[in-house]
Amino acid sequence: MCSETDQVSAVPGAVASGTTYKIGRVRLPGVREVADLPTAAALGASKHVMSRTQLAVWLSFPSRHYTPWARNQGYLLLLVAALVHLVVSLVIAMGQDPKWGEVLLAPFCLTGLFWGLGLLNVLGSYGARKRDNIEAPAREKALAVWESLYYCARDNVAFEPGVGVSFHPSETREYIFGFRNGR
């Protein structure tokens, strides 16, 4: 453990001190240069940049790498498919002597791709939500462990007071999700 108490800081504080935000007219990275930093598309904004030191990346609590609106894309595709299908059906129905079979089935030539992709996204998001609900208790326990960790700058180790185990900052994720998960 760390013998110098003035060198010890809480892990959330170490992450916050190693993270900076730049606001203004800046250009975001198009690809993920550091594995833990979001890309421009993930942030959804074109004027904010976050940068982290390697220590802050190692000690940070792992975030999910999807945006909340991504779970609703399937419903949007189904809505677009339904609206286009309705408009095309109405156009065909206004033609001369249409048959109901062609009025209802012909628009699938235009909207079938939207229906298919929308259903795939809806089913995929259902599975992802189910997985999130199953993983929620483990993530809450891991967050509680992460919030109780401390970092010693002199020895370059992270530790949890009262447990007696210290580890390199790069092993933070393994520690909070693995070793300490059986609390």
Instruction: Quick: pLDDT tens for 15-64.
Output: 877 766 655 554 545 554 444 555 554 544 444 555 677 888 888 888 76
Q: Which of 138-147, 148-157, 172-181 has the lowest mean pLDDT?
A: 172-181
Average pLDDT on 118-139 reads: 85
DSSP string, the chain: --S-GGGEEEHHHHHHHTEEEEESS-PPPSS-SSTTS--HHHHT-SSEEEEE-HHHHHHSPPPPSS-GGGGGHHHHHHHHHHHHHHHHHHHHHTSSS--HHHHHHTTHHHHHHHHHHHHHHHHHHHHHHHHHHHHHHHHHHHHHHHHT-EEETTTTEEE-TTT--EE-GGGHHHHHHTGGGG-
For residue range 71-99, what is the model confidence (pLDDT) as tens digits?
788 898 899 999 999 998 888 888 878 88
Higher pLDDT, 18 or 113: 113
Q: Is 0.75 topped by the overall pTM?
A: no
